[in-house]
C-alpha cells in the first residue's frame, strides 16, 4: 500500500459515512491524566505525519482496516463495557466522519481524542489529548521504519508538525486539555518550554503546568526502561507532569492493548 496520509476509499456512496478502523478494543487508558481508566479504543487508519518512533506505524503508514459505519462503531462500543471512549489512530482528525462519531458518542460517553494537534474539529470532545510533535520526532534516513520514504517525509513532517492555530482551536474548544509530549531526552525540553509558551499565547484557556505531560519515548518495555527515569526526573525538575505508558508496562507492544 502506498505511504499516504489518506486511506483509499471503497467506491460506494455509503463509504462516505464510513471510517477506516484498524482496531476497536477495550483496555485501560495507558497514558495521560486518565491513566488506569477502563476505556474503549477506536483506532482509525492513516496519518498526516511520520514520526520515526510511531508505535502504530502499521496503522498510520500501511493502513489495514475495515470500513465501518458510525452505527457499526457505536454498536461495538455499546457491546464493550467502558463509558470512556478514546478515539485515536493514526491521526483521527484527518477523517471528517470522526465528527459524526464524536457527536453520537457525546451524550453517553466521556470522549478523549488522541491527536497530534495539527488539525481542528468542531465536534464535542471531553478531553483533547494533544501530542504536539517535537523536532526529535522527525524521520531521517537512519531511523525511519521500512516503507516510510524518509526522503519525502522528512520535509513534509517538518513543515506540518506544529500548527499553532490548530493547537489554539483544540485547546479553546475541548472541555479539558492535556499537552502530552513524547520525550527522548533532555534536549527536548527547550522546545517543549517554548511551545508551551506559544500555546499559552494563543489560547484563552489556562494551560497549567499540570496540563503539560512528559511521556517517555518507547514502544516496548525494554525501550521504556531506558527512557522513563530520565523523563520522570525531567518532569520533576521542570515542574511538569509525568505520564507512564501503563499499557506498555503491562502488555508490552501487543495489539489491542
Ligand atoms: C499513535 S498516536 C495516535 C494519535 C496521534 N496521531 C498522536 O500522535 O497524538 C497515540 C499516542 O502515542 C504516542 N506515541 C507514539 N509512539 C510513541 C513512542 N514510541 N513512545 C511514546 N509515545 C508514543 C503519541 O505521541 C500519542 O500521544
Ligand atoms: N492502553 C492504551 N492506552 C492508550 N492511550 C493512548 C493510546 C493510543 O494509541 O492513542 C493507547 C493505546 O494504544 N493503548
Ligand atoms: S502523529 Fe501519531 S500516528 Fe502519526 S506518525 Fe506520529 S505518533 Fe504515529
Ligand atoms: Mg498506542
Summarised one tens digit per residue, pLDDT across range 99-135 is 999 999 999 999 999 999 999 999 999 999 999 999 9
CA distance 184 to 192: 12
* pLDDT > 90 fraction of the chain, expressed in percent and rounded: 83
Residue 45 covered by a domain? yes
Residue 8 covered by a domain? no
| Residue 16 banded pLDDT, cuts 50, 70, 90 | low
Cell of 211: 496540563
Cell of 77: 462500543
Domain tally, the chain: 1
Strands 18-28 and 38-44: antiparallel
Ligand nearest to the CA of 116: 1
How many Å lie between the centroid of ligand 4 and the Cα of residue 127?
Answer: 16
CATH number of the structural domain spanning residue 219: 3.20.20.70
To the nearest whole number, what is the mean pLDDT of the chain?
93
Given this model, what pLDDT does residue 4 score? 41
Residue 238 is labelled as binding a ligand: no
Query: Does the CB atom of residue 116 touch ligand 3 within 6 A?
Result: yes
Q: In sequence order, which residues have a C-beta less than 8 Å from that of residue 61 and are 6 or more positions away? A: 3, 47, 50, 54, 145, 147, 148
Given this model, what pLDDT does residue 64 score? 73
Least confident residue range of 83-97, 150-164, 235-249: 150-164
Query: Average pLDDT, stretch 17-30?
Result: 95
| Residue 65 banded pLDDT, cuts 50, 70, 90 | confident
The predicted-structure confidence for 174-187, as pLDDT tens digits, reads as follows: 999 999 999 999 99
- CB within 6 Å of ligand 1 — which residues? 47, 53-56, 88-89, 91, 114-116, 131, 180, 182, 215, 217-219
- Tell me which residue range forms the domain holding 55: 13-251
How many Å lie between the centroid of ligand 3 and the Cα of residue 48?
Answer: 8
Residue 211 covered by a domain? yes
Residue 256 covered by a domain? no
Output the CA torsion sign for 116, 121, 123, 128.
Answer: positive
Residue 3 covered by a domain? no
Given this model, what pLDDT does residue 108 score? 98
Amino acid at each position: 500500500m502506498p505511504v499516504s496520509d489518506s486511506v483509499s476509499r471503497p467506491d460506494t456512496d455509503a463509504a462516505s459515512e464510513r471510517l477506516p478502523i484498524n482496531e476497536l478494543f477495550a483496555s485501560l487508558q495507558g497514558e495521560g491524566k486518565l491513566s488506569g481508566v477502563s476505556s474503549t479504543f477506536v483506532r482509525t487508519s492513516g496519518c498526516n505525519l511520520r514520526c520515526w518512533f510511531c508505535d502504530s506505524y502499521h496503522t498510520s503508514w500501511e493502513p489495514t482496516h475495515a470500513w465501518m459505519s458510525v452505527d457499526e462503531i457505536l454498536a461495538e462500543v455499546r457491546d464493550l463495557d467502558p463509558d470512556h471512549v478514546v478515539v485515536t489512530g493514526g491521526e483521527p482528525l484527518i477523517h471528517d466522519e470522526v465528527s459524526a462519531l464524536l457527536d453520537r458518542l457525546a451524550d453517553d460517553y466521556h470522549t478523549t481524542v488522541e491527536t497530534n494537534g495539527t488539525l481542528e474539529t468542531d465536534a464535542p470532545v471531553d478531553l483533547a489529548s494533544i501530542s504536539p510533535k517535537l523536532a526529535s520526532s522527525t524521520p531521517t534516513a537512519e531511523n525511519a521504519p521500512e516503507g516510510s520514504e524518509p526522503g519525502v517525509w522528512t520535509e513534509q513532517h517538518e513543515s506540518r508538525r506544529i500548527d499553532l492555530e490548530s493547537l489554539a482551536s483544540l485547546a479553546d474548544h475541548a472541555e479539558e486539555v492535556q499537552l502530552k509530549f513524547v520525550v527522548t531526552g533532555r534536549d527536548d525540553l527547550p522546545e517543549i518550554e517554548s511551545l508551551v509558551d506559544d500555546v499559552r499565547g494563543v489560547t484563552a484557556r489556562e494551560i497549567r503546568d499540570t496540563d503539560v505531560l512528559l511521556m517517555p519515548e518507547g514502544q516496548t518495555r525494554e525501550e521504556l526502561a531506558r527512557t522513563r527515569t530520565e523523563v520522570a526526573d525531567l518532569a520533576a525538575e521542570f515542574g511538569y507532569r509525568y505520564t507512564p505508558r501503563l499499557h506498555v508496562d503491562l502488555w508490552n507492544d501487543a495489539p489491542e492493548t
